[in-house]
Amino acid sequence: MRNSYLFTSESVSEGHPDKVADQISDALVDYFIGHDPESRVACETLVTTQRIVIGGEIRCPPVYDEERFKDTHGWAPGARDEIEQIVRNTVKRIGYEQAGFHWQTASFENHLHGQSAHIAQGVDAAEDKDEGAGDQGIMFGFAVDETPELMPATLYYSHHILERMAADRHSGAAPFLEPDAKSQVTLRFEDGKPAKATAIVVSTQHKPGYDKGEKQAELHAYVKAVVADVIPAELLGNETVYHINPTGSFEIGGPDGDAGLTGRKIIVDTYGGAAPHGGGAFSGKDPTKVDRSAAYAARYLAKNIVAAGFAKRCTIQLAYAIGVSKPLSLYVDTHGTGTVGDEQLEQAIGKIEKLGGLTPRGIRTHLALNKPIYQATAAYGHFGRKPEGDFFPWEKTDLVDDLKAAVAA
């Protein structure tokens, strides 16, 4: 890597239209898994002006069974109403009570239906085969020692600026804020480490009147104060240029200003462009979909490799074929920062029995993914979050001793 360079990452708030869609889709993943841990879910959401549409494929016998619940078009009594209420409550929690998008009055359409039998036969376990991957694809995991959470610093600060602003909006500390917002942080790196913040961009939806005069000055001062709380003081200074609501007014936002779809913020969800992305989104998918579960496993492995001191930076790739249980490949790249060889790390991972060979079932079992834990992932990134209880188990560093033992063996 170059010794001196600029790098930028962006984030979007929970009120960004695409993130509204992600949170609805993952709230429904939690709903189905809460009824049946072995549920199959592929839920897509569209949000636009005063309209919410969901669609996709599901298998969850307690909730949807075309034979058992013929009289109600496959849905258990009351299930469709429960789903609509979950969707509306998600929008309410985010904070949308605007004329152009209101949790209570927006129209709602449910187009979910049963999973394809042909997909099911390839994915389901049987007497002569283990559970297969829910689709083909490549997944990446990444970790770097730029922050205590082993995440890229540019993305880490971008997320936390918006997370702090959302907390202030919900608490009433910043009553002039509305839910939609975006941030972007550019850092200058020296010798591979963050040296200075050169540009901070924050665009936030606001109440009427905060685009000029004293109210605009109040909004700008508030944003700068949040940035000063989030980004270490040594990174800020005369070199830092702020761009706060650079277009001027940002009153019309959220799904009323721009339609939102599930899965369109995959770089925000992962590593802010500091690492490759396999192309498959996470939200709306149950953990048999390796787009989600294998990406979590790859992050878990990369983070533990860096936490164990085997590298300062680590990228891991996994590849799968639909219906096939074992990964087609495992690739480790420590970008020249490794204290042991990359091939040795690949071999060490293969020796750790608790990982179950990194099959879909092995990943789900070791990380305990068959739980309703996914709505919490759908804003401010799937990685770099604090593991608490059942949530974000892929962020634990409990594999460090196993890796050290496997490398030494």
Residue spans of the domains in the chain: they are 4-13+153-253, 17-123, 137-145+287-408
Sites in the chain below the pLDDT cut of 50: 128-129
pLDDT digits (tens, 9 = 90+) for 336-371: 999 999 999 999 999 999 999 999 999 999 999 999
Whether domain 17-123 has CATH 3.30.300.10: the reply is yes
Q: Is 303 annotated as a binding residue?
A: no
- Spatial neighbors of 24 by CB under 8 A, at least 6 apart, are 45, 47, 52, 54, 87, 90, 91, 262
Is there a catalytic annotation at residue 391?
no
- Spatial neighbors of 65 by CB under 8 A, at least 6 apart, are 74, 76
Q: Which of 9, 20, 58, 42 is nearest to 254 (CA)?
A: 20
Across-strand partners of 333? 315
What is the pLDDT, as a whole number, of residue 120?
Answer: 52
Residue of 14, 22, 30, 44 marked catalytic? 44
Q: Is 22 annotated as a binding residue?
A: no
Going by their DSSP bridges, the two strands 260-261 and 241-244 should be labelled as: unpaired
pTM reported for the whole predicted model: 0.95
Residue of 59, 88, 169, 285 marked catalytic? 285
Is there a catalytic annotation at residue 81?
no
What is the pLDDT, as a whole number, of residue 96?
Answer: 98
Candidates 1.10.3720.10, 3.40.50.300, 3.40.50.10470, 3.30.300.10; CATH matching 4-13+153-253: 3.30.300.10
Domain 4-13+153-253 and domain 17-123, same fold? Reply is yes
Element (H, E) at 79: helix 79-94
Is there a catalytic annotation at residue 164?
no
Candidates 3.30.70.380, 3.90.550.10, 3.30.300.10, 3.40.309.10; CATH matching 137-145+287-408: 3.30.300.10
The answer to whether 24 and 48 are in contact (CB under 8 A) is no
Q: Is 281 annotated as a binding residue?
A: yes
3-class DSSP state of 346: helix
Q: Is 180 annotated as a binding residue?
A: yes
What is the pLDDT, as a whole number, of residue 37?
Answer: 96
